[in-house]
Chains A and B, each alone.
Chain A
């Protein structure tokens, strides 16, 4: 342990007060770099600019340009170089400025990072983390607002994490950095400024654990990313009407810990699946299939309901943008209908 980690470990959560989701990520990045010389960051504008969304902040001043590395505008290069560095024993943390730009890097992510360990019979591994902001809500239009998590979740060899809480994002990041596999770490843009209390110290939040965020007997809402927060808010509104919702957050999309989801469905008999991405062939289709393919099916009192983004590219106009993805009122309304539907 380094001095940095010991100091923070000595603080208590209450003394530390709240911090933002970005600050929590930055703290995780700083602690990981302080604790392990092999950890370094690379991406566009991560240095003196502090990151397009301000996540890397002052890290370049604390760790130097070699470890917080501004790169050419070449996403394929960024990921490919990270794969190479990981093969050499480093622990690279890539930032792709918008998750849409992973499209330029797909060969290195999908054909290389995800498969090298397998194709070399386990002889080497690619311990890298690819952090990237995803999602809409910032008025960034069709090529800067997508939620492409299902693409990554579909690729064997990649782990995919979508942290939804300030309290867990740092611990999940540290676990992702420790992980010997390539991990795609998807940060929703609307979460960056949300606040919460982050436990001090270097505690990891293990990957591959589904979390039940709220218990309620009338229905289960499964949601990812910012939709978890929106669903929890919806659950509070529903509670005022006497409808109690369980809210389940897979957190890690691949590998999926399906048990808590299936258990919640068995307890409540009704399930609403909420995602921001377009519904067609989306991640919640997988969750629906897991439910339908398990004994939880026999507990259903109503058909599985999905509430997803519409199947069109993201418009730029703010009013159209918010109409594209599930909003609080949409979740409340869908949940109410589902909870009160005749069995």
Chain B
């Protein structure tokens, strides 16, 4: 690997003496499950909260595993796995206040979970039953955005709305490492900075944009880019749910108090494929994945809870059982979803029905009925 790779890709917590240390990486829980302190970010967290964070991580992964299986069995059109990124998503999601508004990509199932979105409402989107079954206003979780980076501008505009309303809230835009190359994302940074918009840009650097590694997106660590736009950038261990929670809380508080945007780079790894249409063995080595498995976000919290005596075997067995129930509910609910109505594509093209589309709808219905007779 080149010198550039060494600069931008020191695996957090890895025993990698050939790589420079990462003094900028915020970490509160090491890969071995040891609680550490950080001079700028502290977190007061009860044992109950720790167990509840673990539960979220474990259940979201179980959901993800079940969804991947359903796709492989032909029950979903596609699935974008979050495996490896659970801590980044649960940490960020749990940092959100009730009034905050989240703008996800297509992979933020963990954040959806923390906003109370039912997994089946996400699954129905990937099954093609509807175009996203949840209420973005009620859940404060916008619909999934598929085209890379577009949501960063939406979040910025939304944040400017919050500003005008003088509401005690912030917006958070989720994005990936690849998205940082998009013009729209950079324009969002400029807008957010110059208008001091109350928005947090939460970037999960999972190291790959489909097959293209982070080196092809940036010559500097992503969090350092924020300085050039005029707002703070923080790199956090994305596999450390506690650090992510602390850093995101601080950034949201900063936004709400009127101090403007923050860029958070959650340094993590996509353990699975980009989507079920992808085959990561074509572009990355198996030992890289093995290395990251040692930094698994769930295993480290489990290690911490076990060793510190904050959770016992009964607790973990309970979460596992709950996970299996969730998976069974997801499977059953998926298989029972009704097919969409044959005319659904005509119903929401415009806010009101136009004459032309109404005519096409009627013609289509007549055509369909012709087959049924």
Residues of A participating in the B interface, judged by any CB pair closer than 8 Å:
44-45, 47-50, 52, 70-74, 76-77, 100-101, 104, 139, 141-144, 280, 310-320, 323-324
Q: Do B349 and A313 touch (CB < 8 A)?
A: yes
Q: Would you list which residues of chain B between 141 and 192 have a CB under 8 Å from chain A?
A: 146-149, 178-179, 181-184
Q: Are B211 and A323 in contact (CB under 8 A)?
A: no
B212 within 8 A of partner (CB): yes
Cβ of B77 within 8 Å of any chain A Cβ, yes or no, is: yes
Question: In the complex, which of the residues A71, A318, A320 contacts B345, with contact meaning CB atoms closer than 8 Å?
Answer: A320
Q: Are the CB atoms of B209 and A73 closer together than 8 Å?
A: yes
**Closest Cβ–Cβ distance, residue A112 to chain B (whole Å):** 14
Q: By the criterion CB–CB under 8 Å, are B211 and A45 in contact?
A: yes
Residue-by-residue, is B180-215 near A (CB-CB < 8 Å gives 1, otherwise 0)?
A: 011110000000000000000000000001111000
Please report the C-alpha to C-alpha distance between residue A40 and residue B339 in the assembled complex, in whole angstroms.
46
Interface-forming stretch among B48-56, B314-322, B356-364?
Answer: B356-364
Q: How far is the CB of A239 from chain B (nearest CB, A)?
A: 24
B344 within 8 Å of A (CB atoms): yes
CB-based contact B183/A311 at 8 Å: no
Asked whether, in the complex, the Cβ of A139 is within 8 Å of the Cβ of B128, the reply is yes
Partner of B342, one of A49, A104, A139, A319: A319
Residue on A nearest B363 in the bound complex, by CB? A310
The yes or no answer to B259 lying at the interface (CB within 8 A) is no
**Is B306 engaged at the interface, CB distance under 8 Å to the other chain?**
no
Contacts of A310 in B (CB 8 A): 345-346, 357, 360, 364
Nearest 5 A-B pairs (CB), nearest first? A72-B181, A49-B211, A317-B128, A73-B178, A316-B128
Q: Which residue of B is nearest A313, CB measured?
A: B349
Distance of A317 from chain B, by nearest CB (Å): 4
Interface contacts beyond A72-B216, A316-B131: sample of 12 additional A-B pairs, CB < 8 Å, sorted by A: A44-B209, A45-B212, A48-B282, A49-B283, A73-B182, A100-B147, A310-B364, A312-B360, A317-B340, A318-B77, A319-B339, A320-B128
Q: Is B224 an interface residue (CB 8 A)?
A: no
- Find the A residue at minimum CB distance from B183: A76
Q: What's the Cα separation between A100 and B147 when bound, in Å?
A: 9
- Per the CB 8 Å criterion, the residue count for chain B at the interface is 35
**C-alpha spacing A99/B171, complex, angstroms:** 31
Instruction: Indicate whether A104 sits within 8 Å of B184 (C-beta atoms), given known contacts A73-B148, A311-B360.
Output: yes
A-B contact pairs, 6 of them (CB 8 A): A45-B210, A70-B211, A70-B216, A73-B148, A317-B340, A318-B128
Chain B, residue nearest A49 (CB): B211
B residues bordering A, Cβ < 8 Å?
77-78, 125, 128-129, 131, 146-149, 178-179, 181-184, 209-212, 216-217, 282-283, 339-340, 342, 344-346, 349, 356-357, 360, 364
Q: Are A315 and B181 in contact (CB under 8 A)?
A: no
What are the residues of chain B within 8 A of A316 when measuring CB–CB? 77, 125, 128, 131
Smallest Cβ-Cβ distance to B360: which chain A residue: A310
Q: In the complex, which of the residues B148, B209, B340 contacts A320, with contact meaning CB atoms closer than 8 Å?
A: B340
Min CB–CB distance B284 → chain A (angstroms):
9
C-alpha gap A75/B178 in the complex (Å): 12
How many Å from the CB of A192 to the closest CB on chain B? 14
Q: How far is the CB of A72 from chain B (nearest CB, A)?
A: 4
Contact A104 B211 (CB under 8 A): no
Task: Give the chain A neighbours of B182 by CB distance below 8 A.
Answer: 73-74, 104
- Report the minimum CB–CB distance from A67 to chain B (whole Å): 16
Contacting residues, chain A, for B339 (C-beta < 8 A)? 317, 319
**Nearest Cβ on chain B to A81's Cβ, whole angstroms:** 12
A49 touches B181 (CB 8 A): no
Q: How far is the CB of A54 from chain B (nearest CB, A)?
A: 10
